[in-house]
Chain A
Amino acid sequence: MSTTSLAVIEGHGDVRRLTLSVDLRAAPSAAWSALTTLDSLQIWWPDWEPGGVFDQREGGRIVIGDGTWLDGQVKVWTPPHLLEFTWRDHSSENWFEHKTRSLARFELLASSAQTTNLRLTQFAPADSVIGGTAGWHSFVERLQRLLEGEPIIDDPDRFDELVRLYSREYPT
């Protein structure tokens, strides 16, 4: 499988921006389909489960499971290039309630005849950005495997390993 380079985390104060860039071995339309269809999401994004909502239009709702984990709004929907959504669009007591609403953006751009560059950008609170980045990194590795026809292995240690890597790279 192709390797995923570490994401870049930038910022000062209580907000960070993380950027993860990876080349996927697929055309933009196939990568878009893997990013947005429920059947595919349930394979590579571990939290997606039956019962989620993905209203595929600007202003539509996006919900994982019962909404405890993610209950946001689609802000940008332009297949096969741009998808943007908030993590949580209404009030909440947990860390997702934040002035950036943990806005996540996925960009897809043909980078060669066989590959598409995925660039993921998210604004996140400084105190949770390491875990958030490690989570995205592990999800994107699974997406790469899916698009490369490789088996997706549930590795319970991978997230902790990535947290250690990012903590070393971006010490607080």
Chain B
Amino acid sequence: MTGKLTQVRGIGPVRRLQTQIEIQAPIDTVWESLTQAEHVAQWWTRGEIGATAGDAIVLDDGESLRGTILVMMKPYVFEFTWHVSLEHAAHPEWIEPVTRGLVRFDMIELGREATLLTMVQFAPATSAAGASAGWHELVERLQILCEGRDIEPSADRFEELKALYSE
């Protein structure tokens, strides 16, 4: 059983989620795995990801996410909103409306073959446990991909992590 990768902070209706993981791979490898759709399909889901700020990011035909890229500073910061319009969001309950579900990934080199990846998202308090588990599972898969190992399917992993974050 791994410890928690996601820290949850805040009071009231909004929580700050920060998921952090050290990946034994060069920063450019992590950047490509994070921003190129063919790689993202392996650790998250299929979709289309624009090349620059202002472009769209659409995952699962918009069923999961239909947002806008706000920052793309290779290889350090990749930031996008979860939805363009809350009204048309497939899962508005996942989204903190003020911040539009804004997701920020940032990366910093710890060495030539080591990168610290940090994800930050503000989320509704009511969905913080599920979101924490979801991000934990996703960055674990991203780590495995970047380190050249095989991602093994695990149907129970999300529920196991959700229980961990609900404690």
- A interface residues, Cβ below 8 angstroms from B: 10-13, 15-17, 58, 75-76, 78-82, 84, 99-101, 103, 105, 107, 109-113, 117, 121, 123
Contact = CB atoms under 8 A, between A and B. Distances in A.
Nearest 9 CB-CB pairings of A with B? A11-B108, A12-B109, A17-B108, A78-B99, A109-B10, A109-B16, A13-B109, A75-B71, A110-B12
A113 B73 CA distance: 36
A84 B78 CA distance: 13
A16 B71 contact: no
Contact of B77 (A13, A82, A103, A110): A103
B51 interface: no
23 contacts: A11-B108, A11-B109, A12-B112, A58-B70, A75-B70, A76-B70, A76-B79, A78-B102, A81-B98, A81-B99, A82-B122, A84-B70, A99-B74, A100-B76, A103-B73, A103-B77, A107-B16, A107-B120, A110-B10, A111-B9, A112-B11, A117-B9, A123-B106
A13 B70 CA distance: 26
Nearest to B100: A78
B163 interface: no
Most chain-A Cβ atoms within 10 A of its Cβ — which of B12, B16, B102, B120?
B16
A121 B73 CA distance: 15
B106 A17 contact: yes
A100 B70 contact: no
Interface string B1-35: 00000000111101010000000000000000000
Interface of B: 9-12, 14, 16, 53, 70-71, 73-74, 76-77, 79, 98-100, 102, 104, 106, 108-112, 114, 116, 120, 122
B14 A109 contact: yes
Nearest to B104: A105
Contacts of A99: 73-74, 76
Contacts of A107: 16, 120
A103 B104 CA distance: 13
Contacts of A112: 11
Contact of A110 (B14, B98, B112, B120): B14
Contacts of A117: 9
A111 B12 CA distance: 9
A162 B93 CA distance: 44
Given A81-B122, A109-B9, A110-B14, A101 B102 contact: no
Contacts of B70: 58, 75-76, 84
A81 B16 CA distance: 10
Given A101-B73, A110-B14, 12 more contacts: A10-B110, A16-B108, A80-B98, A82-B102, A99-B73, A109-B9, A109-B10, A109-B122, A112-B11, A117-B9, A121-B106, A123-B106
A10 B114 CA distance: 12
